[in-house]
């Protein structure tokens, strides 16, 4: 297990530029530990600062909020191995828009002690400095995601929200791999699941997309971009 943890940390954005002996120090002193979460299990609530930051090993984690009318609103899914979760709440003095971090499927993570990150350690300030630099890089990337979320919610039409999301998420092969369920994607886009399913069907019938399992192939990118005009 320790070899697997070392390999993951070595390739993760949070440990970028750390030497092998520095990573081993984190592991051997239990500053990074292994944890599992079941589907829909809460990792932490945002009404208090998290005790640990989370590095994703497998599964799917997102931020969630329950509205007054009982709906669940979800943030962007985190499925990339090595993804860092919890750093925004750790450094914020105010409660976030989101209420909690939740696992959308069986999820395995590594948890980094926030006490180690925040409290000065005379013996290894170099490790803390590099970790904090890497966390700031994660901040910038997540602000970009937040900008996308605000843009999505600014579109009044279901089709426009779907189009913007697909255009932002497509790969070089003009495909979108959906790591979320239809319900989770609808929650992220801020629309009802039946509305999402109907609009996806229409987009496919009209030749904008082709759906194959959890993949969406954008058939005509230029035509698809016109949806947003």
Distance between CA atoms of 223 and 202, rounded to whole angstroms? 14
pLDDT tens per residue, the chain (229 residues)? Answer: 556 778 878 877 778 888 888 888 888 888 888 899 999 999 999 888 888 888 888 899 998 998 888 888 888 788 877 788 887 787 777 777 889 999 999 999 988 888 887 776 656 778 888 888 888 777 777 777 777 878 888 889 999 999 888 888 888 777 888 878 888 889 889 899 999 999 999 999 998 899 998 889 988 777 777 766 6
Distance between CA atoms of 12 and 8, rounded to whole angstroms? 6
Which are the contacts of 80, defined by CB distance < 8 A and separation ≥ 6? 56
Q: Please tell me whether residues 201 and 140 are part of one structural domain.
A: no
- Return the number of other C-beta atoms located less than 10 Å from residue 72's C-beta: 15
Q: Please tell me whether residues 119 and 43 are part of one structural domain.
A: yes
Containing structural domain, residue 65: 2-151
Classified as helix, coil or strand, 201 is: helix
Q: Please tell me whether residues 138 and 188 are part of one structural domain.
A: no
Q: DSSP assignment of 105-123, as one string?
A: SSEEEEEEEHHHHHS--SS
- Given 127, 151, 175, the domain boundary residue is 151
Q: Please tell me whether residues 52 and 125 are part of one structural domain.
A: yes
- Return the number of other C-beta atoms located less than 10 Å from residue 76's C-beta: 17
Q: Please tell me whether residues 189 and 134 are part of one structural domain.
A: no
Give me the number of domains the chain comprises: 2
Give this prediction's pTM.
0.57
């Amino acid at each position: 297990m320790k070899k697997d943890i070392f390999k993951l940390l070595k390739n993760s954005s949070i440990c970028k530029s750390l030497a092998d002996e520095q990573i081993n120090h984190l592991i051997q002193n239990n500053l990074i530990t292994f944890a599992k979460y079941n589907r829909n299990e809460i990792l932490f609530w945002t009404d208090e600062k998290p005790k640990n930051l989370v590095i994703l090993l497998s599964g799917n984690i997102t931020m969630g909020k329950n509205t007054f009318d009982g709906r669940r609103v979800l943030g962007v899914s985190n499925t990339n191995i090595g993804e860092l979760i919890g750093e925004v709440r750790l450094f914020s003095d105010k409660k976030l828009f989101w209420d909690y971090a939740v696992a959308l499927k069986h999820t395995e993570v590594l948890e980094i002690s926030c006490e180690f990150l925040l409290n000065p350690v005379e013996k290894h300030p170099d490790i803390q400095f590099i970790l904090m630099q890497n966390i700031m890089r994660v901040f910038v990337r997540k602000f970009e995601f937040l900008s996308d979320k605000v843009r999505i919610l600014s579109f009044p039409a279901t089709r426009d929200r779907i189009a913007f999301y697909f255009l932002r998420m497509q790969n070089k092969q003009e495909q979108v791999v959906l790591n979320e369920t239809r319900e989770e994607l609808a929650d992220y886009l801020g629309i009802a699941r039946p509305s999402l399913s109907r609009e996806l069907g229409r987009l496919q019938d009209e030749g904008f997309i082709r759906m194959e399992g959890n993949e969406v192939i954008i058939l005509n990118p230029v035509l698809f971009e016109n949806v947003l005009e």
